[in-house]
Structure 1
Amino acid sequence: MMGCANSPTSSHHTQHQATVHTVSAQGVGKAIGTIQFKDSPAGLVLITDLAELPPGPHGFHIHEKGSCDPAKKDGEIGAAMAAGGHFNPNQAPHHGTPLTGHLGDLPVLNVDAQGQAKVTLVAPRLKLADVQGLAIMVHAGGDNYADQPKPLGGGGERIACGVIN
């Protein structure tokens, strides 16, 4: 990587964000908040400021393509399917924790009783340069970090998505 993004003085100020929108098979809906991204010695820091989500734990992942548009999968149009699968450049064989699985596997996003997620999470194996231009996804269900009993942690449908700029 070239440029001055690696210099100690500029890296602390380099920050990017994604505006997160609701998604459905019909398309990209209204904005429900933002996620800030910045590098730290511990990994990529994600600062969420999201609203209007179902309370409880949600699968939360970086996906391989920078689009939140609906697309066909298995012959059916699905919400945000244009984002592709989990970001997995290292070809990890299974979905897993932020330390063991796909590089795009993030900590679970916990949404409070008011439907808000204002949390700070760390993805220890990622840097901002890895994820710029990709999509970040919130799934309907939680994430057990395994492919059993349901694939990809059981997160299920894609309910919110943003493209990291």
Structure 2
Amino acid sequence: MFSSHAIKPALSLIGVGLLALVTSACSHNPIQTQNKTQVVQVHAVSAQGIGEAIGTVTFEDTAKGLKITPKLSQLTQGAHGFHIHEKGSCEPAEKDGVMQAALAAGGHFNPEGAPNHGTPNTGHLGDLPVLQVDAAGNASTPVIAPRLTLEMIQGLSIMVHAGGDNYSDHPKPLGGGGERVACGVISSTK
């Protein structure tokens, strides 16, 4: 027969063990409903290199996709092409013997091999809604990239182009945004 004095310590040890197991499981499996965010500094870019900081872009996972909130200044008024690019660099690079702003960022993020530039729902994964800049040169309106997550864009870059974006390759390639004017590297959070 077991005495009640022997059972109580054994039950206490089992309780402590279960508590440790539950605590360990919770610490390794955080609650999935918490939104993850990341803030990236954005700089003006030119063929000569990376210039001054012009603000930030905040990325946040949401139920509708990746929310991208700019806090940018010193841009020209109007619509600007806004994209995730495939490489984590904002350095200039040479193409056809000419240095070009932020060319080291590569093209639009397109791991699925979409054949054409398009909308955030149909084109390259890096095709984002147009960035709207007000009369004072500021951009602060959030956009949603429905097919992206924060994890997918780690190590890539965010790019602002000089012109707008018609979500097509016609009459000009890649929406007609043209020259790259601002860029930020999305450094890995891991």
Match of 1:38 among 29, 50, 60: 60
- Distance of 1:36 and 1:155 partners within structure 2: 22
2:32 matched residue in structure 1: 8
Structure 1: segments with no counterpart, 5+ residues:
none
Count the aligned residue pairs: 161
Per-residue Cα deviation, 1:71-119 (whole angstroms, up to 9, x for no partner): 1122221000000000000000000000000000000000000000011
Which has a greater percent of helix?
2
Q: What is the root-mean-square deviation of aligned Cα atoms in Å? A: 1.5
Instruction: Give the TM-score, by structure 1 length.
Output: 0.94
Structure 2: segments with no counterpart, 5+ residues:
1-26
Change in 2 beyond 3 A, CA 1:112/1:87: same
- Distance of 1:69 and 1:155 partners within structure 2: 19
Identical positions, percent? 63
Match of 1:115 among 119, 124, 137: 137
Greater RCO (CA < 8 Å, at least 6 residues apart): 1
- Distance of 2:93 and 2:150 partners within structure 1: 26
Change in 2 beyond 3 A, CA 1:24/1:5: farther
Q: Aligned AA for 1:8?
A: Q
2:169 matched residue in structure 1: 147
- Distance of 1:48 and 1:60 partners within structure 2: 11
1:17 to partner: Cα distance: 1.5
* Partner secondary structure for residue 152 of structure 1: helix
Per-residue Cα deviation, 1:5-56 (whole angstroms, up to 9, x for no partner): 87425x42x2111100000000000000000001001000011100000000
- Distance of 1:84 and 1:74 partners within structure 2: 15
- Distance of 1:5 and 1:118 partners within structure 2: 34
Moved over 3 A (4+): 3-7
- Distance of 2:149 and 2:95 partners within structure 1: 29
- Distance of 2:29 and 2:67 partners within structure 1: 16
Change in 2 beyond 3 A, CA 1:159/1:8: same
Q: Aligned AA for 2:44?
A: T
1:133 to partner: Cα distance: 1.5
